[in-house]
Amino acid sequence: MLGGTGEARRLAALLDADPGFDVTSSLAGRVARPALPAGQVRIGGFGGAAGLAEWLRTERIDAVVDATHPFAAVMTDAAVVAAGSVGLPLVVLRRPGWTEGPGDDWRRVPTLEAAAAALPGERVFLTTGRKDLAPFAGDASRWYLIRSVDPPEPPLPPRAHEVLERGPFTLDEELALMREHRIDTLVTKDSGGGLTSAKLDAARELGIPVVMVDRPPLPPGVVPAATVDEALARLTLGIGGA
């Protein structure tokens, strides 16, 4: 299993508890202290699709689950190519994206670069991850609040304040943070799920616009499993999910 998400950890726990499965989770190693799933764990990259395919052969893997972050497009592409070259079933587990509701003020954009070019406010809360800040680095006019688990990687905006915290966060915590720093714009990726959605609820309550970066498309022909239960059912039935 290519993991790193909450869904990946839940699926790994179910598989590890089933004597019919032997699960190994692979984590990218981008977080210093990752939350480790049940079962066997490996940390680090494979060297692209070819390296992943070789590892699958060497370890005599029977099926592959891609339960990476919805924005980990490079890894998903590699999983599709590698599983296809080895002839293994592939299940892509992707939680649904967020949906705008009454009272929301969302501005959807296709890329981070487009987000940086479409900021409506002056005090911006960036929750795009510590490696995705370069598109905002040239903006000296706005003030940025940057939140990440580990220290963000430069280049950073000249006027930036860093908060190193690991979620999930409650609505009250998000409201307090945004009020404390007088945030008037939220920038986030359409990651989906409930673990990080409180910031959207807070933005709605405070009347703050949200610049929402759309997900990259899945490779052609891939039909994702939307839930852990659906992914488990596909594995149990031997269905590849594409």
Is residue 131 over pLDDT 80? Answer: yes
Where do the CATH 3.40.50 domains begin and end in the chain? 6-95+216-237, 106-213
Give the C-alpha distances (Å, rounded to integers) separating 75 from 100, 104, 111, 216. Answer: 28, 32, 18, 12
Percentage of the chain beyond pLDDT 90 is 88
| Residue 205 or residue 168, greater confidence | 205
pTM: 0.89
CATH number for 6-95+216-237 (one of 3.40.720, 3.40.50, 3.30.70, 1.10.8): it is: 3.40.50
- What pLDDT does 136 receive? 98
On whether the CB atoms of residues 73 and 7 are closer than 8 A, the answer is no
Amino acid at 126: L
Euclidean distance between CA atoms 162 and 72, whole angstroms: 24
Is residue 178 over pLDDT 90? Answer: yes
Nearest alpha-carbon partner for 211 in 229, 199, 225: 199
- What pLDDT does 32 receive? 67
117-134: average pLDDT = 94
Domain 106-213, classified CATH 1.10.10, yes or no = no
- What pLDDT does 47 receive? 94
Tell me whether the omega of the peptide bond preceding residue 155 falls within 30 degrees of 0, making it cis. Answer: yes
44-100: per-residue pLDDT in tens?
999 999 999 999 999 999 999 999 999 999 999 999 999 999 999 999 999 999 999
- What pLDDT does 241 receive? 41
Token readout for 84 is 């296809």
Give 166's pLDDT tier (boundaries 50, 70, 90).
confident
